[in-house]
């Protein structure tokens, strides 16, 4: 082991958006990596979940991608990056900048993300850079922007401990954000009067903490929060002064809500009226209320409306930006928030600035000194792969993600990857469903450094920026993603703007951009961390943005209004309630997809840990015992699920936590880990019209014995 490995390094967990601090050290004798929770980190105060605590088991080199390859044959970095630069430059010359694209990841560090976004938007001149974060929280971004005029998470994790009522909606926090769940459980144990309501079609492990579980019909969240808005407007909880001074649009939104009585909500959502009434009563009487929401809200064709229906209930009560109160989006990935901050989505600009705003475009272009700037949104994830099918994209570079497994209608995505004229894939492992396509003639695979080997920053769900630090050497010829991007940018003729020597320089530019022209009002500003020396960057403690050049910070946003729309007011957004999808005899089950406790995404990391694999050893379909009995399905037998898009075979797991008529299948398994088990091959490619986020939880399928 090199000198890096001889001491304990403070870093952060690479999995979920909780962003836990980790102490990592390497045993000098055995080379084992010892992982402990970092007691000083404000996200977790020493706690780790099963995934975080087993990180040491995931670091072996046996299946790592160690050398660049062209057409499946080992090549030098020089040859591989020449090939990417040539393919991108040729496509741009012949077909224009919108004929190339980057598809990146919420697993990237902010510094990687910053360079990727700068290359596409400022130098290639296209906004065709999107990310798997589109699958994770794009609806929250769109909802925040509609309501607040900015993509701002108003509160902090501490609010979850200070609240007297926590409404968890569309979130299996116990498995998907376990340390946040542990923090709430500990607070509830200290203050047993604290209440938790779970709104989720499934009775998940999170329900164990809930005083009330509302197992609503899938995708009816807008109705329940629209009814809540109506109820709050008629209760003493309404905050007329706050609404009058700081918001607009309440009358129209209330008019839309006027018919949503408790009885009507109960019918729409398939709930008991008495349960809906109790929930509304608790919210009305509890000032310190936080509504936590995640993928059950975001991954829906009405995801943005769901987000705004939630935010409306906090605006009308002024329960926002105050300790123990607020709407709270928890992100799936470790750096979905960092990606948002650098503009790593096809409809965003750097530093939370607006692609559609000419003043913002000019600001960024001036700062970058770039020859061009994208002036229209690029293709969002699902549309991007459709455009590849249509032959519009000639060169694609996929970085740190596995769209063959994770995107909806995954067989069609596979077909797109098989036909795009040029494909480059950067990954840490040597074999993924996506990487296979990069073995085609002339296509490129690039070995990337992974967690423990790379340096940079990430932002968690409460706007906390933390360092990820290296404690292992880069294996083989692996390079950092920001380096690979700079290599290619230089070969495309943009070397001056991509001459970064290390992540410190990238972070510094990102921080300086956030404070450039401070007269242009925005929420994101970390210019207080600009100009750090290498030593200062290396020892930078976690901090929450904004942190301005004068050292001022804003712990919570919007208690006193000051929203980011031009009139400084928040907008109530009218959210029409959609009819519940009719029963479809041909495809009678609703398919919900999601995570299990001990695996992460497409298992390229957690699949290496025997302990993590022991929890759920193989892909399965959770279904209600009544449905199983009706279909003659025995527990643990193999079942085939089919949709108009594909079919898979998995093990039946019977559970009365599952509603009759619906099934749950984990998202993780893929053709590398089990045959015929990629659940996203079943998923329809529907998206939310505002956010472009795929509806990953409401496809229609059949279930039968295999």
Contact 703, 390 (CB under 8 A): no
Binding mask 159-178 for ligand SF4 (x = CB under 6 A): ------------------xx
Taking CB under 6 A as the criterion, the residue among 5, 10, 11, 13 binding ligand SF4 is 13
Q: What are phi and psi of 444, to 5 degrees?
A: -125, 140
Q: Does 382 bind ligand SF4 (CB under 6 A)?
A: no
* Shortest distance, position 299 Cβ to ligand SF4, whole Å: 18
Nearest CA-CA partner of 600 in 16, 13, 11, 12: 16
* Shortest distance, position 181 Cβ to ligand SF4, whole Å: 8
Q: Does 51 bind ligand SF4 (CB under 6 A)?
A: yes
Cα separation values, 185 from 138, 166, 196, 207, 209, Å: 28, 11, 10, 12, 7
Contact 200, 271 (CB under 8 A): no
For the record, the structure tokens of 549 come out as: 């050049």
In angstroms, the CA 420 to CA 413 distance is 11
Cα separation values, 503 from 79, 111, 172, 610, Å: 24, 6, 35, 34
* Shortest distance, position 154 Cβ to ligand SF4, whole Å: 21
Q: Does 49 bind ligand SF4 (CB under 6 A)?
A: yes
* Shortest distance, position 139 Cβ to ligand SF4, whole Å: 21
Taking CB under 6 A as the criterion, the residue among 18, 115, 382, 448 binding ligand SF4 is 18
- Partners of 691 in beta bridges: none
Contact 544, 464 (CB under 8 A): yes
- Looking at residues 25 to 44 of the shown chain, list those that interact with ligand SF4 (rule: CB under 6 A): 44
Shorter beta-carbon distance to ligand SF4: residue 292 or 639: 292
Q: Which stretch binds ligand SF4 (CB under 6 A): 45-53, 114-122, 396-404, 573-581?
A: 45-53
Burial of 656 (0-12, 13-18, 19+ CB in 10 A): exposed
- Looking at residues 176 to 235 of the shown chain, list those that interact with ligand SF4 (rule: CB under 6 A): 177-179
Check the CA dihedral 344-348-354-355 and report its sign: positive
Nearest CA-CA partner of 139 in 538, 598, 688, 699: 688
**DSSP letter (8 states) at residue 371:** S
Task: Count residues near ligand SF4 (CB under 6 A).
Answer: 14
* Shortest distance, position 177 Cβ to ligand SF4, whole Å: 6
Q: What residue number has its CB nearest to ligand SF4?
A: 52
In angstroms, the CA 563 to CA 542 distance is 26
In angstroms, the CA 327 to CA 153 distance is 8
* Shortest distance, position 395 Cβ to ligand SF4, whole Å: 34
Q: Does 48 bind ligand SF4 (CB under 6 A)?
A: yes
For the record, the structure tokens of 466 come out as: 């933390």
Shorter beta-carbon distance to ligand SF4: residue 450 or 646: 450
Q: Which stretch binds ligand SF4 (CB under 6 A): 16-24, 205-213, 244-252, 355-363?
A: 16-24
Shorter beta-carbon distance to ligand SF4: residue 461 or 504: 461
Taking CB under 6 A as the criterion, the residue among 5, 9, 11, 16 binding ligand SF4 is 16
Return the C-alpha torsion angle 279, 149, 126, 302, nearest 10: 20
Give the angle subtended at the CA of 561 by the CAs of 558 and 566, to the nearest 5°: 110
Q: Does 338 bind ligand SF4 (CB under 6 A)?
A: no
Shorter beta-carbon distance to ligand SF4: residue 16 or 559: 16
* Shortest distance, position 15 Cβ to ligand SF4, whole Å: 3
Strand ranges (DSSP E) for 170-310?
195-199, 212-214, 247-248, 289-293
- Partners of 103 in beta bridges: 130, 398
* Shortest distance, position 18 Cβ to ligand SF4, whole Å: 4
Q: Does 52 bind ligand SF4 (CB under 6 A)?
A: yes
Nearest CA-CA partner of 336 in 490, 477, 591, 131: 131
Nearest CA-CA partner of 452 in 27, 50, 25, 18: 25
Taking CB under 6 A as the criterion, the residue among 10, 11, 19, 111 binding ligand SF4 is 19
Q: Does 528 bind ligand SF4 (CB under 6 A)?
A: no
Residue position matching structure tokens 């290496």: 608
* Shortest distance, position 43 Cβ to ligand SF4, whole Å: 7
* Shortest distance, position 101 Cβ to ligand SF4, whole Å: 30
* Shortest distance, position 201 Cβ to ligand SF4, whole Å: 23
Q: What is the largest CA-CA distance in the chain?
A: 70
* Shortest distance, position 131 Cβ to ligand SF4, whole Å: 19
Q: Which stretch binds ligand SF4 (CB under 6 A): 10-18, 96-104, 307-315, 466-474?
A: 10-18
Q: Which stretch binds ligand SF4 (CB under 6 A): 12-20, 432-440, 610-618, 640-648?
A: 12-20
Interface with ligand SF4 by CB under 6 A: which residues?
13, 15-16, 18-20, 44, 48-49, 51-52, 177-179
């Amino acid at each position: 082991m090199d000198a890096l490995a001889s001491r304990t390094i403070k870093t952060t967990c690479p999995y979920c958006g909780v962003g836990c601090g980790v102490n990592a050290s390497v045993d000098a004798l055995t080379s084992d990596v010892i992982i402990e929770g970092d007691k000083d980190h404000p996200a977790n105060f020493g706690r780790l979940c099963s995934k975080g605590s087993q990180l040491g088991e995931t670091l072996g080199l046996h299946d790592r991608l160690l050398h660049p390859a062209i057409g499946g044959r080992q090549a030098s970095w020089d040859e591989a990056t020449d090939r990417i630069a040539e393919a991108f430059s040729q496509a741009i010359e012949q077909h224009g900048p919108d004929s190339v694209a980057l598809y990146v990841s919420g697993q990237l560090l902010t510094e990687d993300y910053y360079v990727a976004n700068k290359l596409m938007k400022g130098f290639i001149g296209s906004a065709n850079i999107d990310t798997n974060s589109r699958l994770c929280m794009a609806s929250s971004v769109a909802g925040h922007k509609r309501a607040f005029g900015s993509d701002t998470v108003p509160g902090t994790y501490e609010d979850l401990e200070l609240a007297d009522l926590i409404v968890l909606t569309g979130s299996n926090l116990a498995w998907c954000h376990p340390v946040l769940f542990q923090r709430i459980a500990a607070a509830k144990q200290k203050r047993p009067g604290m209440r938790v309501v779970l709104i989720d079609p499934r009775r998940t492990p999170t329900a164990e903490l809930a005083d009330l579980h509302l197992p609503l019909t899938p995708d009816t969240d807008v109705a329940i929060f629209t009814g809540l808005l109506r109820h709050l407007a008629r209760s003493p909880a309404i905050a007329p002064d706050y609404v009058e001074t700081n918001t607009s649009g309440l009358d129209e939104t209330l008019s839309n809500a006027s018919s949503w009585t408790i009885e009507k909500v109960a019918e729409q959502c398939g709930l008991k009226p008495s349960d809906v009434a109790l929930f509304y009563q608790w919210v009305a009487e509890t000032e310190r209320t936080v509504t936590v929401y995640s993928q059950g809200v975001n991954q829906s064709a009405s995801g943005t409306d769901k987000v705004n229906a939630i935010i409306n209930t906090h605006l009308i009560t002024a329960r926002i930006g105050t300790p123990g109160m607020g709407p709270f989006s928890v992100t799936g990935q470790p750096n979905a928030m960092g990606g948002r901050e650098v503009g790593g989505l096809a409809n965003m600009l750097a530093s939370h600035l607006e692609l559609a705003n000419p003043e913002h475009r000019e600001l960024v272009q001036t700062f970058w000194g770039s020859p061009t700037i994208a002036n229209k949104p690029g293709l969002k994830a699902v549309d991007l792969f459709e455009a590849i099918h249509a032959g519009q994209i000639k060169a694609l570079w996929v970085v740190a993600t596995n769209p063959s497994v994770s995107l909806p209608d995954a067989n069609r995505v596979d077909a797109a990857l098989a036909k795009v004229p040029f494909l480059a894939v950067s990954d840490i492992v040597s074999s993924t469903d996506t990487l296979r396509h990069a073995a085609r003639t002339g296509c490129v695979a690039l070995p990337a450094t992974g967690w423990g080997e790379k340096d940079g920053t990430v932002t968690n769900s409460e706007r906390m920026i933390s360092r990820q630090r290296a404690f292992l050497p880069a294996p083989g010829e692996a390079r950092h993603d920001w380096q690979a991007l700079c290599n290619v940018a230089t070969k495309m003729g943009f070397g001056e703007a991509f001459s970064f020597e290390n992540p410190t320089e990238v972070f510094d530019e990102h921080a300086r951009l956030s404070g450039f022209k401070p007269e242009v009002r925005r929420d994101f500003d970390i210019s207080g961390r600009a100009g750090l020396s290498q030593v200062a960057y290396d020892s930078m403690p976690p901090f929450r943005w904004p942190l301005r050049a004068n050292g001022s910070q804003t712990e919570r946003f919007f208690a006193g209004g000051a929203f980011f729309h031009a009139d400084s007011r928040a907008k109530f957004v009218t959210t029409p309630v959609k009819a519940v999808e009719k029963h479809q005899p041909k495809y009678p089950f609703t398919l919900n997809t999601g995570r299990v406790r001990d695996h992460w995404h497409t298992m390229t990391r957690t699949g290496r840990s025997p302990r993590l694999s022991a929890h759920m050893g193989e892909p399965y379909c959770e279904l209600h015992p009544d449905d199983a009995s009706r279909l003659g399905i025995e527990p643990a037998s193999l079942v085939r699920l089919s949709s108009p898009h594909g079919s898979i075979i998995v093990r039946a797991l019977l559970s009365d936590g599952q509603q009759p008529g619906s099934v749950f299948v984990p998202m993780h398994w893929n053709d590398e880990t089990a045959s015929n088990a990629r659940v996203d091959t079943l998923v329809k490619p529907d998206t939310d019209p505002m956010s472009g986020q795929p509806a990953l939880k409401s496809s229609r399928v059949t279930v039968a014995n295999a």
